Structure 1
Amino acid sequence: MSALKRLLARFFTELEKDFSTFRTQLGRFRAARPFEVVPYLTFGTPTHLFVRGRVIEEKGLQLATPDASRWRNLSDTYKRFVSTKVPDARVLVSYPGGERELVTDANGYFTGELKLTEAAPAGWCEVSYTLLSPQRQPRGDTPPTPPTAKGFVLIPDARARFGVISDIDDTVVQTDVARWLRVLGTVLFGNAYTRLPFRGVSAFYRALQRGRGAGRNPLFYVSSSPWNLYDLLLEFLDLEQIPLGPLMLRDWRGGAGELFPAGHGDFKGGEIRRILDTYPELPFILIGDSGEQDPEIYGEIVSAYPGRILAVYIRNVSGEARRGAVAQLAERVREMGSKLILADDTLAAAQHAAQEGWIDPQTLAEIRVRKERDTSLFDNAGETVATVIERNVRA
């Protein structure tokens, strides 16, 4: 870790402590917020569902607006990163054909694998969550109403020809993770509207999802971003009309090592392996960028799963030295029977996918147009994160 990163990590660690102290003092004067269950988009098979979520104190967040001030965005960032976790909470999970109780860990997270008695159809399977305990008594004599939430689990279509596993930072959204000061400015003062997609990404990912077969190809997102940004990333994908899919993010535990994780390759590699192991008959396309470790992580996956990776698309966001290193890795990937394409823009990757027959060549025209001028396609004013998710999975 560089001296600058250590300095920034120390600063934000101390800032988080100060915020926690301030929040504790403030809590003496304000009414406690109710708890809420936050289900995450996950994946499964016709016979097994994997569920994941968190129980926290309500943050009071609203969807972003294009004209939100930097201070409003900073306030939202604060709420995301200092949310009150609820350990040992009991959550009742209701799914087709059964129910199961799960308990949150020390950071408020819960996970579980649910076995179905009858095969579920392809698509988004609905799962309901009810917080059994703890519950906060509202003011007055009114008994508390157990908080509930609706979640969704993706079951890929058996007719899908392949799956797609994509990074997010510097792959879908312009982040510039190699320049940490810029990253921090984006995280602290930005929102879903101020984040910019790489041009043509929305059209390319929709083309990959449609493919050229009868069934939709599933998309999965694996990122080293923390779960605290889950709502923001979902809102960004929705605004840009990038297909929703299960998201695998990191747990933010605070401290210098969490602000600038050195071992995120272990996390990303582990999540990718879990997806591949869940769908052993499905080949995959991996998409990432050259900024950090994506090429090396994906190269290890190609080696560990021979014949499973159709191609690796790496967006070039680095200088010549890094380009040379990735080119050497591309040769090793070729020797292992796959392809690693270092692409300067989305169109180059899309053209290769069309040549291989993975997307319809007619979609290249739309991708080319979106590459020239990519702006937000949609306005979700008046919605919540929950309604954004439901609208997308029902589409």
Structure 2
Amino acid sequence: MSQWKQILMRVASNADDRFDKLKYRLRQRLGNLGPVMILPYRGFGNANEIYLKGRVLKDKGIVAAGDNDTVWQNLLSTYKRFASVEIPGVRVEATFAGVTQEVITDVEGYFEVRFRPQEPLPPTRAWHTIELRLLDEIYEGQGDIRASGTILTPNAGSQFGIISDVDDTILQTNATSLMKAAKLTFLNNSRTRLAFEGVAAFYRALQSGPDSSLFNPLFFVSSSSWNLYDLLVDFCIVQGIPKGPFLLRDLGIDREQFIKSTHHNHKFDKIKLILNTCEGLPFILIGDSGQHDPEIYLQVIQEFPGRILAVYIRDVSQDIRDSSVQKIILQAKQLGVEMLLVPDTVVAAKHAASKGYIDPEILPDIRAEKVEDQQAPSDLEQIIGTDSEQKTE
């Protein structure tokens, strides 16, 4: 990076931080900060250390999505998510297993807590709870503001882990098309956005393992903004996709680049963090061919030899991209890892069953769930256009 570009990045980052602080002080002076909420994101860890990220925000009253929400209701909810009001420089108290620590939110309202358990975690328990409490008074009469966060740890019943992409892997987004991706983000909600057929049953099968009695931890890594966290969690609940931590991206301006991390670097770094945290546990990686998942997963295979059992890449791209993916598949094979470019969930599930990753008796359930969800487009969607170019199952 040139010296001038570095200078511009620092200036932009400093200006962004100052603008955030100015907005906060103005709202504070006008008495427009309440109500406030603590939003914990699902965390993860191991027997030695656990980690949780969260944010303190003005509570804008985003209500749970409904089946009959209008386009305008969805637009309003999306606007509220992205026009978040962060609460910087306030103290949050975190308590886990009788141990308490204080952390302070950064300029964008984020905080992170890390605990080293003094006692062994229950060997058969996957999810653990962290209690959070806001220590500072932000507006008059705010009362006691608390929240409970959850932490996922592999346990004695974990045979392998699963790391999944989100966009165009479990959720139809058309991420390679800016207009289509924007349409799906802004005009739909967690109940009207479409999952790829069979995904929920396949992920449940992977989580429970070959004899349907295990608990294999599932992680979601995406370049989507943290502002969409609640929508993605609700989407998985509605679709019956198993619970897991989401590792999303902060889209703010960094001192080194306009976006704090690139798509490639963000996903690779988060996957690396998961593998280092779940030390010794092998993983299955699931993504799509639309962006850079094959390239990222090949880099993971190279850096973590022997840790990747298989890679499933959903084919959502055009033929010219498929030829590039096939070259990456050959490189992965030379490293001893099967990377499959699959047209649908059933093909991936059949391979997983043949390798002993899932119970073969679950295959009929996955096939049965693979029913295309035909939904009439809304009036605004018809104006923008429908999705006809993307490969589907």
Please classify the TM superposition score into its range, dividing by the shorter chain length.
0.7 to 0.9
Q: Which residue of 2 aligns with 1:6?
A: none
1:158 Cα deviation from its structure 2 partner = 2.0
- Does 1:129 find its partner at 2:127? no
1:366 Cα deviation from its structure 2 partner = 0.5
CA contact under 8 A between 1:200 and 1:374: conserved in structure 2? no
CA contact under 8 A between 1:94 and 1:100: conserved in structure 2? yes
In 2, the alpha carbon distance for the partners of 1:283 and 1:216 equals: 14
Helix, strand or coil for the counterpart of 1:249? Answer: strand
CA contact under 8 A between 1:57 and 1:85: conserved in structure 2? yes
Q: Which residue of 2 aligns with 1:202?
A: 200
Change (3 A) 1:22 1:112: closer
1:31 Cα deviation from its structure 2 partner = 5.3
Superposed CA offset, 1:276-315 (max 9, x none): 0011210000000000000000000000000000011000
Unaligned residue ranges in structure 1 (runs of 5+): 1-20, 139-143, 377-395
Change (3 A) 1:32 1:278: closer
In 1, the alpha carbon distance for the partners of 2:26 and 2:38 equals: 25
- Does 1:331 find its partner at 2:330? yes
CA contact under 8 A between 2:65 and 2:190: conserved in structure 1? yes
Q: Which residue of 2 aligns with 1:179?
A: 177
CA contact under 8 A between 1:330 and 1:341: conserved in structure 2? yes
CA contact under 8 A between 1:290 and 1:322: conserved in structure 2? yes
Superposed CA offset, 1:28-59 (max 9, x none): 98854221110000111123210110011112
Counterpart of 2:360 in structure 1: which amino acid?
A: P
Helix, strand or coil for the counterpart of 1:372? Answer: coil
Q: Which residue of 1 aligns with 2:166?
A: 168
Change (3 A) 1:345 1:165: same
Aligned-pair Cα RMSD in Å: 2.4
Match of 1:188 among 182, 186, 192: 186
Unaligned residue ranges in structure 2 (runs of 5+): 1-21, 376-393
CA contact under 8 A between 1:228 and 1:252: conserved in structure 2? no
CA contact under 8 A between 1:163 and 1:282: conserved in structure 2? yes
Change (3 A) 1:23 1:157: closer
Q: Which residue of 1 aligns with 2:13?
A: none
How is 1:20-31 mapped onto 2 (pairs within 5 angstroms)? none
Q: Which residue of 1 aligns with 2:55?
A: 54
Counterpart of 2:319 in structure 1: which amino acid?
A: E
Counterpart of 2:172 in structure 1: which amino acid?
A: Q
How is 1:81-230 mapped onto 2 (pairs within 5 angstroms)? 81-121=82-122, 122-138=125-141, 144-213=142-211, 214-230=213-229
Change (3 A) 1:304 1:73: same
1:65 Cα deviation from its structure 2 partner = 0.5
Counterpart of 1:127 in structure 2: which amino acid?
A: I
Change (3 A) 1:335 1:193: same
Change (3 A) 1:319 1:353: same
CA contact under 8 A between 2:209 and 2:216: conserved in structure 1? yes
Counterpart of 1:270 in structure 2: which amino acid?
A: D
In 2, the alpha carbon distance for the partners of 1:182 and 1:27 equals: 38
Q: Which residue of 2 aligns with 1:17?
A: none
In 1, the alpha carbon distance for the partners of 2:46 and 2:230 equals: 25
Helix, strand or coil for the counterpart of 1:191? Answer: coil
1:373 Cα deviation from its structure 2 partner = 4.6
Change (3 A) 1:43 1:26: closer
1:146 Cα deviation from its structure 2 partner = 2.4
In 2, the alpha carbon distance for the partners of 1:227 and 1:163 equals: 23
1:67 Cα deviation from its structure 2 partner = 0.8
- Does 1:253 find its partner at 2:256? no
In 2, the alpha carbon distance for the partners of 1:262 and 1:128 equals: 30
In 2, the alpha carbon distance for the partners of 1:191 and 1:350 equals: 28
In 2, the alpha carbon distance for the partners of 1:145 and 1:24 equals: 21
CA contact under 8 A between 2:33 and 2:138: conserved in structure 1? no
1:319 Cα deviation from its structure 2 partner = 1.1
Helix, strand or coil for the counterpart of 2:156? Answer: coil
Change (3 A) 1:182 1:27: farther
CA contact under 8 A between 2:27 and 2:33: conserved in structure 1? no
Report the number of matched residues.
Answer: 350
CA contact under 8 A between 1:55 and 1:108: conserved in structure 2? yes
1:374 Cα deviation from its structure 2 partner = 5.4
CA contact under 8 A between 1:290 and 1:315: conserved in structure 2? yes
Instruction: State, as a whole percentage, how many aligned pairs show the same letter.
Output: 41
Superposed CA offset, 1:161-205 (max 9, x none): 100000000000000011110111111121112210000000000
CA contact under 8 A between 1:240 and 1:375: conserved in structure 2? no
1:155 Cα deviation from its structure 2 partner = 1.4
Scaled by the length of structure 2, the TM-score of the pair is 0.84
Change (3 A) 1:124 1:168: same
In 2, the alpha carbon distance for the partners of 1:306 and 1:59 equals: 46
1:71 Cα deviation from its structure 2 partner = 0.9
1:372 Cα deviation from its structure 2 partner = 2.5
In 2, the alpha carbon distance for the partners of 1:329 and 1:34 equals: 50
